[in-house]
Amino acid sequence: MNSDKLPNLRHLRLALLVLRGDSLRVAAEKLRLTQPAASLALSALEKSYEVLFFTRTPIGLAANEFGDVIRLRASNVFDELAAAFPQSVSEPPKAHVASRITIAQVSALAAMQQQNSFRAASEVIGVLPTTIQRAISSLEADLGVKLTERDDHAVRLNLAGRRLSEYAGRAVAEAKAIRADILELKGVIGGVVSMGVVRAAASDFVPNAVAEVANIAGEVRFEILQENLQIMLGLLRGGRIDVVCSTIRDEFPADIEREMLGRTRLGMYCSPSHPLAGQAICDIRELSRFGWVLPSAQTGAAKAFRRLFKESGVDLPSVVVETNSTEIIQQLVQTRFFLTISTKMDGAGFWGNELEQIVFDAWGLERPMWLMYRKGWRPTKLQELVLESLRRLCVMSSRTNSSNLDNLE
């Protein structure tokens, strides 16, 4: 079963009507199909999922457990589309944009989230750029509304397009979840998990959770994004990623659920061969003698670093490199006498324990690490396993850190 293949929306709507109690004849009439065409459409949908949704009885079709999956997830798909196109819910059905929209249009709209060209969007879902362009253009024609804007170098969604893309993204996520739920009923845990993470999460417990789940799951793929928090939250709202593991400084978004996984600490780090390695620093001027590699000035960590020196009345040390690339920071700190700062979870290693922390009592910045997901999100079994693994590993990490602190005392 191809986990990336999405269903024909007209076929899915037909199945949903029958699963909700319509006879095949009535459902076919609502979608302006002949009854033989409707029967073929249902068979094609069942074949694409390699299961039957109904038990055939003398009095009609009765939903089985696979049909129950379709009913739940398809309802969510069409609820998102109806919310995206509220102006298209009047009779007759031919006038409904939500009723006529194709999976190609929905996928194209979802793929355009955070992208600046048809080419970039096409790479997200593995189609030609012209396919994305045609799908968006046909949707604009159906709606009578412009969804994109362009300048000399880019094509992106405008305000109307961005609003619709969030609904489209969630509809696509629900459609993808159908296959994962069907696999689960067959005894196979599989599907795709998309995660947005900050460096503190990516450095230790997220890789461990991924490895743990990959060892017990069947057909599984993980997609992990490390990006600006606001970008990740936008993708979370739009269904492009399932969960975000991050600290957050601003007021918490009302449309996002959260769980605290643990606490992060901002620390100073150097290579094991650095003159400050293993030392406890009492005088901040010692830290001014060396060059630093810092994350970009807009990050909370960099702002806290500058604030420390300003409040201490000490000149800011030489910042040789500013970058958000963990690979570049790691290489520079390991191979040169540079220092850096980074957040990590309590009890977690830092870049595989290849760097050493500098102990400086005057330096301390803690923030909660949050696990975030959309309100009303219904995870697949695979996604549930990832959430359970993240929670358990973070609890273990916190206990290990507490034990280490007790031993130091």
Q: How far apart are CA 247 and CA 144, in angstroms?
A: 41
Name every residue whose Cβ is closer than 8 Å to that of residue 98 and which is 6 or more positions away in sequence: 78, 81, 82, 84, 85, 88, 89
Q: Which residue has the tokens 């400050």?
A: 276
Residue 88's pLDDT is 43
The alpha carbons of the chain give a radius of gyration, in whole angstroms, of 26
Q: Above pLDDT 90, what percent of the chain?
A: 47
Task: Give how far Cα 223 sits from Cα of 150, 231, 240, 313, 372, Å.
Answer: 29, 15, 10, 45, 16
| Topology match between the domains 189-259+368-408 and 263-367 | yes
Amino acid at 274: H
Residue 404's pLDDT is 41
* Residue 245 DSSP label: E
Residue 407's pLDDT is 42
Q: Are 226 and 246 in contact (CB under 8 A)?
A: no
Residue 329's pLDDT is 87
Residue 203's pLDDT is 65
Q: How far apart are CA 31 and CA 11, in angstroms?
A: 10
Residue 185's pLDDT is 94
Residue 43's pLDDT is 95
365 DSSP β-pair partners: none
The residue extents of the domains of the chain are 9-167, 189-259+368-408, 263-367
Q: How far apart are CA 377 and CA 185, in angstroms?
A: 20
Residue 326's pLDDT is 78
Residue 3's pLDDT is 54
Q: Are 61 and 55 in contact (CB under 8 A)?
A: yes
Task: Give how far Cα 12 sits from Cα of 42, 163, 170, 326, Å.
Answer: 8, 24, 16, 44
Tokens of 340: 């850096």
Neighbours of 137 (CB within 10 A): 14
pTM of the predicted model, to two decimals? 0.81
SS3 state of residue 279: coil
Q: How far apart are CA 23 and CA 25, in angstroms?
A: 5
Tokens of 267: 């620390």
Residue 100's pLDDT is 80
* Residue 284 DSSP label: G
Task: Give pLDDT tens digits for 30-59.
Answer: 999 999 999 999 999 999 999 999 887 777
Residue 92's pLDDT is 37
Residue 42's pLDDT is 94
Q: Which residue has the tokens 């094991």?
A: 272
- Class of the CATH domain delimited by 263-367: alpha beta
Sign of CA dihedral 229, 233, 235, 240: positive
189-259+368-408: which CATH architecture? 3-Layer(aba) Sandwich (3.40)
Residue 253's pLDDT is 86
Q: Which residue has the tokens 């609820």?
A: 79
Q: Are 104 and 126 in contact (CB under 8 A)?
A: no
Q: Are 96 and 89 in contact (CB under 8 A)?
A: yes
Task: Give pLDDT tens digits for 224-269.
Answer: 998 888 889 999 999 999 999 988 766 788 899 999 988 888 888 8
- Class of the CATH domain delimited by 9-167: mainly alpha
Averaged over successive runs of 10 residues, the pLDDT of the chain (409 residues) comes to: 78 95 93 94 95 84 92 95 66 52 93 86 90 93 88 84 93 95 92 86 80 86 88 92 85 88 85 86 86 87 88 91 86 87 67 71 74 94 94 72 41
